[in-house]
Structure 1
Amino acid sequence: MNPRPLDFPDSPRPPGVPLKEPTRLGPGLLLAVAAGRLRAARPELAARCDLTTPQGLLGARAALAAEAESDQGGPHLVVAVVDRFHLPRWVAETCRFALSVPRERAASWRRDFTRTVFLAGRPDNLAERFAFAHVADDGSAAWAGPAPQETTTALRRLLKTLDASREPSAWSPLTIEIPGPAHGGANRPPLHRDLYIATAQVTISQLLVQVNHLLVEAVLDQLIAPGDRLTLRSVPRLTGLALPFAALRVDADPRRTDALRAYAALTEET
């Protein structure tokens, strides 16, 4: 089952990492952010590993992934079924889904690093067979979980992994408002933040994965709440930006196995 065409608009702050002041992204900061995320999610693992080098950090993550797969029931994960992808709508609906996740499920999901699998499919054709936790109002995407991976085995076997291998085009900055979940709401005044997304040498599939982690963890950390406004900005790379960051998404650079890269950044209130 193939997704419909994907399109873009036309023209967690880890403990101990100071990002509130304008900060230029460099290798040391990227390592500190990635290591801080691992310590926050799995402190018992971090205590056994050398997180002072990218190689040590990536080795710890590989060991963690193998350990999770061997556990009965597997890691907690979310399955996102995508039919049509439009960046502003997807960002808003991703945040809306994350806002609806119950606290106890969010804790288990966070411990498994908010793992999310993206599949190509049409939610409206699947609604009678599978229970989704959230479906976008326009039916463009749906989310199941978070739950142990065995609970979504049938869905994951039915659909193929979303494969969008082209690089996204740059877009003109645009601002969206985060909708609220079906229940609950913000307990603070709305904020405005910038969401910077790197586009150079990043496929749309990679963008989905990386920006998804940033968004859902920012929601769980209450950095994003209903009524907040996000201005979506594209940049070739985040390296060189000097801004007061509230959260960064850092992961391995697929073109350099011994290096890390910043894929997305959420600024402090602007």
Structure 2
Amino acid sequence: MSRPDADAALVAAATARLASASGTGPAAAVAETVVVVADVVPPAFALGAVEFTLGLPEDLGRAWHRSFTRTLFLAGQPGTVVSRHPARHVAADASMSWHGPAQGDGLRDLSRLLRAFRGPRPAASVTRDLSVLVPGGPAGHVVEARMATAGVGVGDYLVHLHHLLGEATLRGLIRRGDTVRIGHAPHLDDPDSRAALEPGRADVVQTRITHDHADPGRLRLYGVLVSERRRS
């Protein structure tokens, strides 16, 4: 695929994502989630992101989806934070906690209490291919995801993966009982990743596309998830 064709495919996929989110209901106030990070443990983070999203009431899930799963990552100790700011979900290893989604100033006190989580280390330094089982349902379905790591810091990696998993879960591409496998590559320019951008596969694919950190004038595919669930 030529560079112009690749750019056009990314624009089309990003536009489809915007349409999917805006189609969940009428415009409303922005709903934001806060994740408090004590340590970066990718399997615990991935499973926590899915379980947090699955546990949202339907109205909050729609509001967060319309807000494009907006999330703020803060550095802190969940065990200390939750005593003053109740969490909706805490990772099994207590490395992270999820708060919200809330609209308006609902999480302002929490964001004032803690500093932003930066995570400047290269994502490749903490990422390994991983697999997590989402508890609570019939097992058997496998969801495949891949994340780009070249030029990506740990903080940005968390942002990209959280958007990918959150939106996929809100769309029903990840469900209870599913196994989510996450692979990594420097760039997602392989034939399978490019094929996932085809419009005809939009109902089984979730993407994370945003401006390239190294070249803000261009779009880059940072994550792709495919969930081809067999129909009964």
- The verdict on a shared fold, with TM-score over 0.5 as the criterion, is yes
Runs (4+) of structure 1 exceeding 4 A deviation are: none
For structure 2, the 5+ residue unaligned runs are 197-204
CA deviations on 1:46-101 (whole Å, 9 max, x unpaired) are: xxxxxxxxxxxxxxxxxxxxxx9xx9xx6210001011111111101110111001
Query: Counterpart in 2 of 1:88?
Result: 43
Q: Is residue 79 of structure 2 the alignment partner of residue 124 of structure 1?
A: yes
Match among 173, 185, 194 for residue 235 of structure 1: 185
Contact 1:194-1:231 at 8 Å conserved across structures: yes
For structure 1, the 5+ residue unaligned runs are 1-24, 44-67
Q: Is residue 114 of structure 2 the alignment partner of residue 159 of structure 1?
A: yes
| Whole-Å separation in 1 of the counterparts to 2:140 and 2:58 | 21
Match among 165, 174, 199 for residue 130 of structure 2: 174
| Whole-Å separation in 2 of the counterparts to 1:40 and 1:174 | 28
Match among 142, 151, 156 for residue 192 of structure 1: 142
Instruction: Supply the AA of the counterpart residue of 1:176.
Output: V
Structure 1 residue 156 displacement after superposition: 0.2
CA deviations on 1:93-140 (whole Å, 9 max, x unpaired) are: 110111001100111111111100000011111222111111122211
Structure-1-length-normalised TM-score: 0.73
Structure 1 residue 264 displacement after superposition: 0.7
1:206-225 matches, cutoff 5 A:
206-225=156-175
Q: How many pairs are equivalent? A: 212
| Whole-Å separation in 1 of the counterparts to 2:90 and 2:187 | 32
Cα gap change, 1:153 to 1:229, in 2 (>3 Å): same
Contact 2:44-2:92 at 8 Å conserved across structures: no
Contact 1:190-1:226 at 8 Å conserved across structures: no
Name the % identity: 33
| Whole-Å separation in 2 of the counterparts to 1:224 and 1:265 | 13
Q: Kindly indicate whether structure 1 or structure 2 has the higher relative contact order, using CA contacts under 8 Å at least 6 residues apart.
A: 1
Query: Counterpart in 1 of 2:211?
Result: 252
Query: Counterpart in 1 of 2:223?
Result: 264
Structure 1 residue 249 displacement after superposition: 0.8
Structure 1 residue 267 displacement after superposition: 2.2
Q: Which secondary structure does the structure 2 equivalent of 1:95 belong to?
A: helix
Query: Counterpart in 2 of 1:32?
Result: 12
| Whole-Å separation in 2 of the counterparts to 1:127 and 1:108 | 23
Structure 1 residue 240 displacement after superposition: 2.6
Cα gap change, 1:149 to 1:166, in 2 (>3 Å): farther
Instruction: Supply the AA of the counterpart residue of 2:6.
Output: G
Instruction: Supply the AA of the counterpart residue of 2:155.
Output: S
Contact 2:44-2:93 at 8 Å conserved across structures: no
| Whole-Å separation in 2 of the counterparts to 1:76 and 1:196 | 27
Query: Counterpart in 2 of 1:42?
Result: 22
Instruction: Supply the AA of the counterpart residue of 2:206.
Output: A
| Whole-Å separation in 2 of the counterparts to 1:247 and 1:86 | 23
Contact 1:92-1:179 at 8 Å conserved across structures: no
Structure-2-length-normalised TM-score: 0.84
Contact 1:77-1:146 at 8 Å conserved across structures: yes
Cα gap change, 1:40 to 1:121, in 2 (>3 Å): same
Query: Counterpart in 1 of 2:200?
Result: none
Query: Counterpart in 1 of 2:201?
Result: none
